[in-house]
Structure 1
Amino acid sequence: MLQAKNLYSYYGKSPVLQNIGFTLEPGKLLSVLGRNGVGKTTLMRTIMGLTDRVEGTLTFDGKDIASLPTSDRALLGIGYIPQGREVIPRFTVEENIVMGTYARKDGSRDIPEYIFDLFPVLREFLHRRGGDLSGGQQQQIAFARALAMKPKLLILDEPTEGIQPNIVQQIHEVITRLNREFGLTIVLVEQNVPFVREVSDQFIVIDKGRVAAVGTSQDLTDELIDRHLTF
């Protein structure tokens, strides 16, 4: 479903990512690991077309997307939950979620009912402003907004960063259900190694803008973690 070959990504004239390569099959979950500042978020932004320039090959669902604008990538079915959530504070919860439907080809503005099964609190707060909710609840809005577009691929950039532990557990359960029960293909940036080992079909480790290691969850050894993830 998603493949990168010899991928370089630039901010200005500087290549932040160099010679990135991976293949992600439909229905699988790929975790992206690495220390802070090594290029993980840049890889997520590159998939969404949010860096200045790319070289190499990036294909989604058999289509070359390297030169497509972000809006076209969303219309193809790529959903993105960035760091910081980017909820619009003055919009209601409902308005924030409905924004995701504008990337749907069917023109419907209906919120899929299963979203409220995943995040029941959002139904209760549907008419409250997004900025009035806690960080964890805003993360649930961000999930709901991305899911409202009915994505084929969901990109999650550290979705549990800075939120309360009880909601961290809920987010982990939702990610697991989306992948295993609903068959959604996922790219996940996550620092929680036990969770990564539990849910990942494969992983890549980024170090200094390059792929330093690849493998399945069984290959994610303590030695590899110590070498590439500890500070």
Structure 2
Amino acid sequence: MLEAKNLYSYYGKSPVLQDISFLLEKGQLLTVLGRNGVGKTTLMRSFMGLTDRLDGSLTIEGTEIARMRTPDRAMLGIGYIPQGRHIIPRLTVRENIIMGTYARRDGKRGMPDLVFELFPILRDFLDRRGGDLSGGQQQQLAIARALAMDPKILILDEPTEGIQPNIVKQIHDIIVRLNRELGLTVILVEQNVPFAREVSDRFLVIDKGRVVIAGAGADLTDDIAERYLTF
């Protein structure tokens, strides 16, 4: 589904990521872990073509995308929920969701029923500005906007950061459902090690811009967490 080979990603002339390689198969969930500032967000941005330069190979279903423009990657079915959500605060909930449909391959502009099945509260707030929602509701809106594009791969960069605990569990449950019940391929940056261990098919630990450990989710031990995730 998604394969990286010897990937280097740059801001300016400096490589932030170096020699990243992995294979993610269709329907799998990959968790990316590491301390703050080691390159996790840069990796997510690299998938979308949002860094200054990308060397190496990055393919989705066999199509090389390393030098594709960001809109073209989205049209291939990559849905991205960045850290901090980045909803458009002056647009309504309805308008934010409709924005996601412009990356659909079938041209449909309606709001999918799945969005309201997963996030029923958004139906009540359709005409409310996105900036007036709580942090947890904005995160739900950001996920809904990505789902509106009917993605093949969903990328979530720390989707529960700074969110109240009851919404954290809801978002975790929805991620699991999207992956296990609906078969959506998921890449997740996550600091909750027990959750990552439970739900991941594969995991990567990044340190200083390189993959230092990778394996099956069940192999994400407390020793690994102590060595590479604690401060």
TM-score (norm 2): 0.99
Task: Kindly indicate whether residue 88 of structure 2 is the aligned counterpart of residue 77 of structure 1.
Answer: no
Between the aligned partners of 2:16 and 2:114, the Cα distance in structure 1 is 38
Between the aligned partners of 1:54 and 1:77, the Cα distance in structure 2 is 20
Identity of aligned residues (%): 73
**RMSD across aligned C-alpha pairs, in angstroms?**
0.5
Deviations 1:11-66 (A, max 9, x none): 00000000000000000000000000000000000000000001111001110000
Q: Give 1:198 deviation, angstroms.
A: 1.1
Say whether the 8 Å CA contact 2:30–2:187 is kept in structure 1.
yes
Correspondence 1:1-231 to 2 at 5 A: 1-231=1-231
Deviations 1:156-178 (A, max 9, x none): 00000001111001000000000
Q: Give 1:115 deviation, angstroms.
A: 1.0
Deviations 1:173-195 (A, max 9, x none): 00000000000000000001111
Between the aligned partners of 2:90 and 2:128, the Cα distance in structure 1 is 9
User: Any runs of at least 4 consecutive aligned residues in structure 1 with deviations exceeding 4 A, and if so which?
Assistant: none
Between the aligned partners of 1:129 and 1:54, the Cα distance in structure 2 is 36
Q: Give 1:105 deviation, angstroms.
A: 1.8
Deviations 1:66-122 (A, max 9, x none): 000000000000000001111111111000000000001211111110110100100
TM-score (norm 1): 0.99
Find the residue that maps to 2:21 and give its secondary structure: strand
Q: Give 1:217 deviation, angstroms.
A: 1.4
Between the aligned partners of 2:20 and 2:9, the Cα distance in structure 1 is 9
Say whether the 8 Å CA contact 2:198–2:218 is kept in structure 1.
no
Provide the aligned length of Structure 1 versus Structure 2.
Answer: 231
Between the aligned partners of 2:174 and 2:94, the Cα distance in structure 1 is 20
Find the residue that maps to 2:35 and give its secondary structure: coil
Q: Give 1:219 deviation, angstroms.
A: 0.9
